[in-house]
Chain A
Amino acid sequence: MTRKQRHNLRLGLLFISPWIVGFLIFGAYPIVMAVYYSFCDYDVLRDAVWVGPLNYQDMVTDDVFWKSLYNTLFYTVVSVPLSLTLALMIAVLLNRPILGRSLFRTFFYIPAIVPLVAVSMIWIWVFEGESGLLNYGLSLIGIEGPQWLNDASWTKPTLILSSVWQTGGAMVLFLAGLQDVPRSLYESADLDGAGPVEQLRHITIPMISPVLYFNLVMGIILSIQEFVKPYIMMPNGGEDRSALLFAVYIYQNAFQYNNMGYACAMAVVLFAMILLLTWLATKAMAGHVYYGGD
């Protein structure tokens, strides 16, 4: 390395040092320590004691862990496809030349930028069993609505319904993708006699598949880490822990019970789970994602 190169390297490092320092302190250090504490008996106040894989062994016999895992996977498996389908449908509709299109796009995007705590409070009000808006609406058409927030068989669907509402982020990405699809493809399909459904299936979806893939992966990651809404709407997981999600159980162990070592072990499992599901999604989509540059 010449003197000039060394100088440039130093200067480069200096310029990115705010990020490096920030990442080392607030990113790398917590991740490394979380992995270390996952092998410790640690309650924040006392020194961590190395216990080997005990926390992981305890997880195997902890049925609340399994229940929260099941709840989270159930939530992910139902809410992600539902949200994506809805976002795609809205995006396709809003891509048509309709009156007040920008206004509609804004309205559909707004839920994505409302603070989650405020959203959760509104949902509590909407789903409230006796005087909630939803049950009131149902009563007008002669249906007696369930106890959405208090009945073990309805708590998960309630969370899923509330999550589907916030598809604005995915919708905007779909819209951007849709605008990149060449008009000529639709025109030739029209000439060949393809209807709207065939066009959607054979042109739109393949052409926006990278966006679909991105939204799917992000959807999986965000759903598995879902915390704010379930924590506020059902702080202890609802009746029979039916809506206790994984991230909420981690929070309970870390900050309510001070079982930080156990919580760290669960966080490591969460990380592994996200890796696995992202890998599975990538595998499943392989060969179906079309990039214009390919």
Chain B
Amino acid sequence: MMIVGWFLAAFGRQGFWLLPACLCLAIVACSHQPQQQTEDGRIVVEYWEHWTGFEGEAMQAVVDDFNASQNRIYVKKLTVSQMDQKVILATAGGNPPDVVGLWSYNVSTYAEKGALTPLNKYLEAEGITEADYIPALWDLCEHRGFMWALPSTPATIALHWNRRLFKEAGLDPDEPPTSIEELDAMAERLTIVEIKRDGVKQRVRYTDLTQSGRDSKDFDIVQLGFSPNEPGWWKQMWGYWFGGDLWDGQRTITADSKENIDAMTWHGSYSQKYGVDNVKKFSASFGAHFASPQNPFLDERVAMVIQGVWMYNFIEKYSPQLDWAAAPFPSIDPQTLPDVTIIDCDILAIPAGAKHPDEAFEFISYVNSQGPMEKLCLGHRKFSPLTTVSDGFIEQHPNPYIKVFIDLAHSPNARTTPQMSIWQEYNEELSVAADRVFGAIMPADQAMRYVEERVQWKFDRALRRWDLTKDERIKHWTEQ
């Protein structure tokens, strides 16, 4: 009331409409305006990063080094949760940060939708080329012939096994499985179940059960040798270990290829073997969080697991006494398909419409030089994405099996998530299919055919739009 009265007194009747107008202005003024310069005149580059904890600290150390190395640019790092969605909204709102630390699977989607700045002209000017990087990682940053990001910390995944449990099961702790067939056999040997004999509960190895005991599935799982659903982060891509592809690289989804159906059948074979309800019940006891002492590999209830180079950190933190080792995850045929892995990386990119793209690239380029990159990757306890690595890097690295992960990264069978604009939806459909098969709701061939049809339908829609706009887009990107 007082404000309205004051307003009328100050501006009179002529200013009648000023109040609503001022309200609008106030709303507009409330929008975030990033700081452009520091007090000493340095350009502020706003950098959003998703890492927290020791990984976040490692990046902060590199940022501090960069800020100290010159006096023109000041990088301000902000830790942001749910980055992928926030970057989209900030970019759409015309107010993005200058640098974003995203995941490689974001590249194709964001690039195609015009959310990122192509880096080709910067790379040419700096002389940064494909030869500087592990080949698969360079590919992860490319889409439609343009480069959209540079890698930060990469990762590959491998088989981790519990040597103590191997010894207890009478297996050689230094001989991990080399084929899927061996993996399945060892997993059976490593599985312990609880049964009732004459009214008394007894723990026996799965391999010691009679055939009828196995068929009845009348037991509780106490220890599992392996489960393709644990942790379940790559259940969508088991086809890679069976020689399959998820698309043809152009316009066709290949989810229902024989290899992918075989992989999905294998995925479901574990719940069929040990009983859907038994496996679900056992899995429910793992607790909700991977990073906890209840992690079933860390508390030694699952003997073999597929995990990434980061697993070492969690073993050190939550289960330092664990006697473990890592090796390439076995494929269906080790002769023709050796060293299969999924390679992935975090990326640094410049959103479209960033206020200081040149300065942003200067920072990205600094992170991608050998010294800072090694410092960052050692801090994350990962390996360097660069092909040139200093002599002491592996020796200095705390992970005793880091070489396994590096060799896998250089393998010709190091596979990536498909670089397609609808990968997130494809991934979701594959995930639903994997759960349907694992839960014995649908047979593998039917589940994968469903994925094929549904994702192809979605992909066709995305391509229809791309076909309509590609000339204009490519022209725009080339000019940028």
Hey, which chain A residues are within 8 Å of B4, CB to CB? 14-15
Stretch at the interface among A91-99, A112-120, A216-224, A250-258: A250-258
- Residue from the list A10, A46, A58, A255 in contact with B16, Cβ < 8 A: A10
Contact in complex: A45, B114 (CB < 8 Å): yes
Contact in complex: A45, B113 (CB < 8 Å): yes
- Residue from the list A18, A58, A150, A236 in contact with B432, Cβ < 8 A: A236
Contact in complex: A14, B16 (CB < 8 Å): yes
Most central of A10, A147, A241 by chain B CB within 10 Å: A147
Q: How far, in angstroms, from A150 to B288 measured CA to CA in the complex?
A: 12
Residues 44-69 (chain A) with a chain B CB within 8 angstroms: 44-46, 49, 58, 61, 63-64
Contact in complex: B92, A45 (CB < 8 Å): yes
Residues 1-27 (chain B) with a chain A CB within 8 angstroms: 4, 16, 19-20, 23-24, 27
Give chain A nearest CB distance to B327 CB in angstroms. Answer: 31
Give chain A nearest CB distance to B314 CB in angstroms. Answer: 21
Stretch at the interface among A103-111, A128-136, A173-181, A186-194: A128-136
Contact in complex: A129, B280 (CB < 8 Å): yes
Contact in complex: B27, A241 (CB < 8 Å): no
Contact in complex: B91, A45 (CB < 8 Å): yes
Give chain A nearest CB distance to B448 CB in angstroms. Answer: 15
Q: How far, in angstroms, from A21 to B18 measured CA to CA in the complex?
A: 12
- Residue from the list A10, A17, A58, A255 in contact with B85, Cβ < 8 A: A255
Given A45-B114, A239-B439, A258-B88: A129 and B281 within 8 A (CB)? yes
Is B435 interfacial (CB 8 A cutoff)?
Answer: yes
Contact in complex: A46, B114 (CB < 8 Å): yes
Q: How far, in angstroms, from A21 to B22 measured CA to CA in the complex?
A: 11
The B interface is mostly helix, strand or loop, or mixed, namely: helix
Given A147-B281, A150-B284: A258 and B439 within 8 A (CB)? no
Is A198 interfacial (CB 8 A cutoff)?
Answer: no
Number of A-B residue pairs, CB cutoff 8 Å, is 85
Contact in complex: B285, A131 (CB < 8 Å): yes
Chain A, Cβ-Cβ closest to B457: A61
Q: How far, in angstroms, from A152 to B276 measured CA to CA in the complex?
A: 12
Contact in complex: B89, A236 (CB < 8 Å): no
Most central of A10, A240, A255 by chain B CB within 10 Å: A240
Given A45-B113, A147-B281, A239-B435: A256 and B465 within 8 A (CB)? no
Contact in complex: B441, A239 (CB < 8 Å): yes
Hey, which chain B residues are within 8 Å of A124, CB to CB? 288
Stretch at the interface among B385-393, B409-417, B423-431: B423-431
1/0 per position for B51-93, CB-CB distance to A under 8 A?
A: 0000000000000000000000000000000000100110110
Given A49-B465, A256-B424: A14 and B19 within 8 A (CB)? yes
Give chain A nearest CB distance to B194 CB in angstroms. Answer: 14
Is B109 interfacial (CB 8 A cutoff)?
Answer: yes
Chain B, Cβ-Cβ closest to A22: B23
Contact in complex: A45, B115 (CB < 8 Å): yes
Contact in complex: B432, A241 (CB < 8 Å): yes
Hey, which chain B residues are within 8 Å of A252, CB to CB? 428
Q: How far, in angstroms, from A240 to B442 measured CA to CA in the complex?
A: 10
Q: How far, in angstroms, from A158 to B436 measured CA to CA in the complex?
A: 19
Hey, which chain B residues are within 8 Å of A151, CB to CB? 280, 439
Contact in complex: B428, A46 (CB < 8 Å): no
Contact in complex: A240, B89 (CB < 8 Å): no
- Residue from the list A46, A63, A240 in contact with B439, Cβ < 8 A: A240
Given A43-B113, A124-B288: A257 and B435 within 8 A (CB)? no
Is A25 interfacial (CB 8 A cutoff)?
Answer: yes
Q: How far, in angstroms, from A43 to B109 measured CA to CA in the complex?
A: 11
Is A280 interfacial (CB 8 A cutoff)?
Answer: no
Give chain B nearest CB distance to A13 CB in angstroms. Answer: 9
Chain A, Cβ-Cβ closest to B85: A255
Chain B, Cβ-Cβ closest to A128: B284
Q: How far, in angstroms, from A239 to B461 measured CA to CA in the complex?
A: 27
- Residue from the list B24, B113, B422 in contact with A46, Cβ < 8 A: B113
Hey, which chain B residues are within 8 Å of A63, CB to CB? 454
Hey, which chain B residues are within 8 Å of A43, CB to CB? 113
1/0 per position for B89-100, CB-CB distance to A under 8 A?
A: 101100000000
Chain B, Cβ-Cβ closest to A256: B424
Residues 144-161 (chain A) with a chain B CB within 8 angstroms: 147, 150-152
Chain A, Cβ-Cβ closest to B280: A147
Give chain A nearest CB distance to B392 CB in angstroms. Answer: 43
Contact in complex: B109, A258 (CB < 8 Å): yes
Hey, which chain A residues are within 8 Å of B24, CB to CB? 21, 25
Contact in complex: A44, B432 (CB < 8 Å): no
Residues 261-296 (chain B) with a chain A CB within 8 angstroms: 277, 280-285, 288
Give chain B nearest CB distance to A205 CB in angstroms. Answer: 43
Contact in complex: A21, B109 (CB < 8 Å): no
Hey, which chain A residues are within 8 Å of B428, CB to CB? 236, 252, 256
Hey, which chain B residues are within 8 Å of A129, CB to CB? 280-281, 284
Is A77 interfacial (CB 8 A cutoff)?
Answer: no
Hey, which chain A residues are within 8 Å of B281, CB to CB? 129-130, 147
- Residue from the list B20, B115, B432 in contact with A17, Cβ < 8 A: B20
Q: How far, in angstroms, from A41 to B460 measured CA to CA in the complex?
A: 13
Q: A15-B4, A45-B92, A63-B454 are in contact. List 17 more A-B contacts (CB 8 A).
A: A14-B4, A14-B16, A14-B19, A17-B19, A17-B20, A25-B27, A43-B113, A44-B113, A45-B113, A49-B468, A128-B284, A129-B284, A131-B285, A236-B432, A239-B436, A240-B439, A258-B88
Closest 9 CB pairs of A and B: A129-B284, A130-B285, A130-B284, A45-B113, A17-B20, A44-B92, A147-B280, A21-B20, A45-B115
24 residue pairs from A and B, CB less than 8 Å apart: A10-B16, A14-B4, A14-B16, A15-B4, A18-B23, A21-B20, A25-B24, A41-B465, A45-B88, A45-B114, A45-B115, A46-B113, A49-B465, A58-B461, A63-B454, A124-B288, A131-B285, A147-B277, A151-B439, A152-B439, A240-B435, A240-B442, A255-B85, A257-B424
